[in-house]
């Protein structure tokens, strides 16, 4: 499992690079990184455990955030965080989504925007930068799973925001790139504000 001091922070150029595609079959190194990233997320969401290890809670961690410039990210979204009744991609009561996505591509996105009412945070950004992070409210994402099989998911609301945040990391993006610098809390009619 990774600890906070192994997570790359803003200012390191790996966070601003476009990561390379992951090759299949997965190398042992990529498998190990994926396992450690998911372990971080699981432990970070456990209130007693995260205190013990000093972990900031997270729902996603992308490979560049641990210094690996390849296109994959682990995502762990608790079902409780997903307000709306949505068709779940997996049969898991505790999590709306648990998995590592490889070579993800957003193939469709809605004109309608979504943003978290509290703004976003990132394990690689120590200061919480205020403001709405406008993203597509609905997306279709294609990716490969650990076996290299093509998957497709349609997501909306919170899960769509989490996936977009992580996919940004694979192309050198950080959440605050999307904040309106002049008026960070400016609301628009076309945006749904969540949570
Ligand atoms: Zn992040």
Mean pLDDT value of segment 143-158? 97
169: closest CA among 98, 39, 73, 34?
Answer: 73
Residues 108-132: tens digit of each pLDDT: 999 999 999 999 999 999 988 999 9
81 or 107, higher pLDDT = 107
Out of 32, 51, 83, 166, pick the active-site residue. 166
Distances (CA, A) of 25 to 36, 64, 71, 74, 93: 18, 20, 14, 18, 30
Cα 103 to middle of ligand 1, angstroms: 17
Cα 119 to middle of ligand 1, angstroms: 12
The answer on pLDDT for 68 being more than 70 is yes
Q: Would you call 87 a catalytic residue per the annotation?
A: no
**DSSP symbols for 19-81:** PBPPPSSPPHHHHHHHHHHHHHHHHHTSHHHHHHHTPPP-SEEEGGGGT--BSEEEEEEEGGG
Residues 171-184: tens digit of each pLDDT: 999 999 999 999 99
Cα 166 to middle of ligand 1, angstroms: 6
To the question of whether residue 171 is assigned a binding role by annotation, the answer is no
Cα 190 to middle of ligand 1, angstroms: 24
Residues 29-38: tens digit of each pLDDT: 999 999 999 9
Query: Which pLDDT score is estimated for 115?
Result: 97
To the question of whether residue 169 is assigned a binding role by annotation, the answer is yes
Query: Which pLDDT score is estimated for 85?
Result: 54
Cα(149)–Cα(134) distance, rounded to whole angstroms?
A: 31
Query: What mean pLDDT is reported for the chain?
Result: 95
Query: Which pLDDT score is estimated for 41?
Result: 98
User: What percentage of the chain has pLDDT greater than the value 90?
Assistant: 90
Tell me the domains of the chain and their CATH numbers. Answer: 11-194 (3.90.45.10)
């Amino acid at each position: 499992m990774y600890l906070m001091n192994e997570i790359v922070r803003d200012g390191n150029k790996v966070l601003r690079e476009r990561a390379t595609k992951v090759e299949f079959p997965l190398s042992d190194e990529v498998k190990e990184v994926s396992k450690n990233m998911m372990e971080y997320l699981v432990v970070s969401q456990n209130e007693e455990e995260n205190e013990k290890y000093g972990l900031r809670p997270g729902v996603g961690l992308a490979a560049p955030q641990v210094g690996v410039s390849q296109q994959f990210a682990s995502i762990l979204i608790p079902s409780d965080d997903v307000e709306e009744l949505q068709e779940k991609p997996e049969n898991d009561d505790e999590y709306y989504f648990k998995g590592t996505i490889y070579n993800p591509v957003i193939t469709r996105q809605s004109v309608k925007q979504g943003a978290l009412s509290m703004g976003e945070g990132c394990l690689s950004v120590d200061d919480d930068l205020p403001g709405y992070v406008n993203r597509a409210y609905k997306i279709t994402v294609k990716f490969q799973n650990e076996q290299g099989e093509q998957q497709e998911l349609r997501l909306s609301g919170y899960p769509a925001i989490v996936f977009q945040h992580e996919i940004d990391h694979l192309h050198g993006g950080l959440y605050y790139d999307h904040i309106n610098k002049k008026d960070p809390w400016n609301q628009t009619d076309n945006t749904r504000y969540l949570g």
